[in-house]
Amino acid sequence: MTPTTVVLVDPNRLFREGMKRLFDGSRFQIVGEAADPRATVASQAAILLIDPVEDLTSDTVQTLRAAHPKARLVVLTGELDAQRLTSALKAGVDGYLRKDIASEALMQSLTLVTMGEKVFPTDLAALLIGGRGEALVEEPAPRKGLSQRERQILQCLLRGHSNKMIANHLAITEATVKVHLKSLLRKINASNRTQAAIWAMNNGIGQDAAETAAMPV
């Protein structure tokens, strides 16, 4: 199997060395590293795994994408800070993960990212309910007309589930999940899964998700 190439950006050299050992023999291969996002060099890596030294802005993300045009951008950071999470999601990152994630969960999350999924912390719902950060998107007016299945899918999105995980959880096919998700996004005027999850939180659906045990990412 051809390895998935990764550029690692982290200010801690020891952590970068540890990540190299973690990925050794896995489907992921670190092909470049840097201590600061501004020091990264152009590459054809599939994933840019970064712990930013400051809040990610849209300009910074655009600069990173220009240097790594084919890479999916994933934040891997030490703590779940609401402001930084908000900034990163608004800037358009493809994932936001914590460094205390289990190694297998990290591998699985990065695999989902390469498949086009968005990944974010499973405790995102609890963070937003706690009010420790501004809304990630403008809060829309409550919408009616969602089916019970669509509400269930929204709860799964809040937990960071992929389509396959949603299908397994609800005992339906992935094709059915995609049909429901397409209809759901249209109903709530959301353009992607992350916006749908934040819409769910803003409209009270996240309360149920936060009270339910989250499945592993």
Helix H segments across 70-191? Answer: 82-91, 103-114, 124-129, 148-158, 163-170, 174-188
Torsion of CA 32, 38, 43, 44, to 10 degrees: 100
Residue 38 DSSP class: G
Distance (Å, whole) CA 19 – CA 101: 13
Helix H segments across 115-147? Answer: 124-129
| The domain boundary residue, chosen from 72, 95, 120 | 120
Both 12 and 110 in one domain: the answer is yes
Regarding beta strands 72-77 and 95-98, do their DSSP bridges make them parallel or antiparallel, or are they unpaired? parallel
Helix H segments across the chain? Answer: 13-23, 58-67, 82-91, 103-114, 124-129, 148-158, 163-170, 174-188, 193-202, 206-211
Both 63 and 143 in one domain: the answer is no
What tokens does 93 get? 């990152």
Q: Where residue 200 sits, what CATH number does that domain have?
A: 1.10.10.10
Whole-prediction pTM value?
Answer: 0.62
| The domain boundary residue, chosen from 80, 103, 120 | 120
| The domain boundary residue, chosen from 120, 136, 164 | 120
Q: Which domain holds residue 205?
A: 122-217
Residue 34 DSSP class: E
Sign of CA dihedral 148, 150, 152, 158: negative
- pLDDT tens by residue, 130-170: 544 444 444 444 445 788 888 889 888 877 788 898 999 99
Distance (Å, whole) CA 205 – CA 199: 9
pLDDT value at 120 more than 90: no
Both 88 and 148 in one domain: the answer is no
Both 144 and 54 in one domain: the answer is no
Both 137 and 205 in one domain: the answer is yes
CB 105 within 8 A of CB 214: no
| Coil, strand or helix at 5 | strand
Distance (Å, whole) CA 18 – CA 24: 10
pLDDT value at 126 more than 60: no
Both 89 and 115 in one domain: the answer is yes
User: Which tops the pLDDT comparison, 75 or 81?
Assistant: 75
Average pLDDT of the segment spanning 180-195? 84
Distance (Å, whole) CA 81 – CA 107: 22
- pLDDT tens by residue, 3-26: 899 999 999 999 999 999 999 989
